Amino acid sequence: MKILFCTTEVQPFSKDGGLADFSASLPKALASLGNKVNIVSPYYKQVKDNYGDQAIYLGERKIKFGAFEETANYYLIVLNNQEYYFVSHPFFDRNSYYDYRDDAKRFVFLNIAILEMISLVSFYPEIIHVNNWHTALIPYFLDSLYLNHANYKHIKTLLTIHSLEKQGSFPMAVETFITKKNYTYQHNDQVNYLKSGIMRASKINTVSKSYRSEILTKFFGFSLDGPLKSRQYELIGIQNGIDFSVFNPATDNNIYKNYSLNNYSEGKFFNKQALLKELNLKDTNKPVIALIGRLAREKGIDLIIEFIDDYLKNDELYLIVAGSGDYEYEDFFESLKVKYPNNFHFFNGHVHDINQKLFAASDIFIMPSLFEASGLNQMIAMRYGTVPIVRETGGLKDTVSHFSEENKSGTGFLFKNYDSSELKDTLDNAIKIYKNDEKTWNLIIENGMKVNNSIAKMAKAYHELYKSLSE
C-alpha cells in the first residue's frame, strides 16, 4: 500500500517528544512489510540548518485558506532509503516548533500544503496517516476541498492520537482561515482541530489499548469523550513499540560499553562507572535514578518535586534528569544542579546519545505520569536493563508489570494513585530491593530485558488497520 505519513516531528530531523521516535520507526517497519511510506513534515529552521545541504528543491504551490494566500515550497531528503518531504515557509523558520500566537494559521497552512504536495510530487496514497491535532484538519480538508479531484477521492485517512490534552483549540475567529465552514470543527464555542479529525477521519487509533478505553471517560477525555464515543466503533488501540535495531544495548554505539542479557551485570556497571566519572559523581554503590523525557505537568514532575530534596540532602541516591519542556520545571532542575552538585545532574534538552548513556548506566527509571497515551521510555529502559517505576495509567500499565514478591514475577514497579507519598513509598521499596536483594533485583532486570516490545508487532497491527481501510 501507498501511505503518506504526516507528522510535525520525526527523528533525526526534529524532536520534542515521543512522536518523533514513532514517526521515524513506524514507517521503517511498515516498509519491511511491503508498504511504500513517504513522510512529510515542516521544514523547520533546525532541519534547514542541519540537513539543508542534502535537500532537493521540488517546487512550490500557492496555498489558499479562507481569505489568505501563502506560498509553500517543498523539499525532499532521502536518508537511509526513506523519502522525507518537507513543507517550507517562514511559519516554520523559527527556533521552536510549537506554542506561537499564530499556531492556528501555521497549521491550517500546513494541512492544506500537505494535500497540495500530493499532486506536485504525483504521490497519490491509498492512506493518509495524520498525527495529533497539528495535522488533524487534513481529513476535513480532503472531504471539503478535494473530494471532486479524481486522484484524491479514494484516499482514506487514519488519525493517531498520541495526546488528547493538546487539541489545537482556538477562538472562533480563526474560522476565517477555513474556506468551507462546517460544524465538524466546532467544540465548546471554539475551533478545535483535533475534534475535526476525530469526526472526519476514516478511522482513529490511540497508541495503547488502555488509553483507548480511558479517553472515553470524562477525566481522560478532556471534553472530547462525547465525540470519541460517537466514533468508538472506529476507534482502535494499538500498543506502541520500540525499534530494536536502534534501542539495543548489544549494538548501541552511543553507550560506553555494549552488553546483552548474557552479561548485563558487568555491562551496566561499566556504563554506570563511566557516566558517574564523566559527571564527577563518585559513589558507584548509590542507585542512579533517571528521569528522561518532556518536562510537563502530565509527566508527573510535580510528584517528584514534592520529595526529591530529602533524598538528595541525605545523600541517598543520584538523580539525573534529561529533557526539556515547561520553564518552571527546567528552572527547578537548574536550581537543584546548583544546590546538590554532588548528587544531581541536569541535561537540558533532547540529545539522543545522552539519553542512551543514561538508559544504559541507570539503575531505576522513573515515569510517574498523570496520564500517558503510550510512553516509549519505559520500554527502552527495560530493554537496557533499567528497572522502571511508573504510574498505573494508559500505556504504562500495558507495558510494565508490577513486581510480585510472592511469585518473583514482574518487570518493574507500579503505583496507582497520583500521589507523591505513594510514589515515594514505591521508590523506597525499589531501592530497598536494589540494596539488599541482588538476586531479586537481577531477576526484575532479566524479566524486563526479555519483554518483546518490538516495533515489528506494532507495524503488523497498523498494516492490518490500513488493509481494513482500503477494502
Domains and their CATH numbers in the chain = 2-241+456-470 (3.40.50.2000), 264-452 (3.40.50.2000)
Q: pTM of the full predicted structure?
A: 0.88
Distance CA 291, CA 319 (A): 8
Give the tens place of pLDDT for each residue, 271-317.
Answer: 999 999 999 998 999 999 999 998 999 999 999 999 999 999 999 99
Residue 392, CB-side half-sphere exposure with 13 Å CA sphere: 11
Q: What is the pLDDT of residue 405?
A: 82
Distance CA 178, CA 461 (A): 34
Q: What is the pLDDT of residue 203?
A: 98
Q: What is the pLDDT of residue 359?
A: 98
Distance CA 193, CA 201 (A): 12
Look up cell 551496566; give the residue.
Answer: 268
Q: What is the pLDDT of residue 10?
A: 97
For the chain, residues with pLDDT lower than 50 are: none
Q: What is the pLDDT of residue 349?
A: 87
Tell which residue, 76, 5, 14, 23, has the closest CA to residue 47: 14
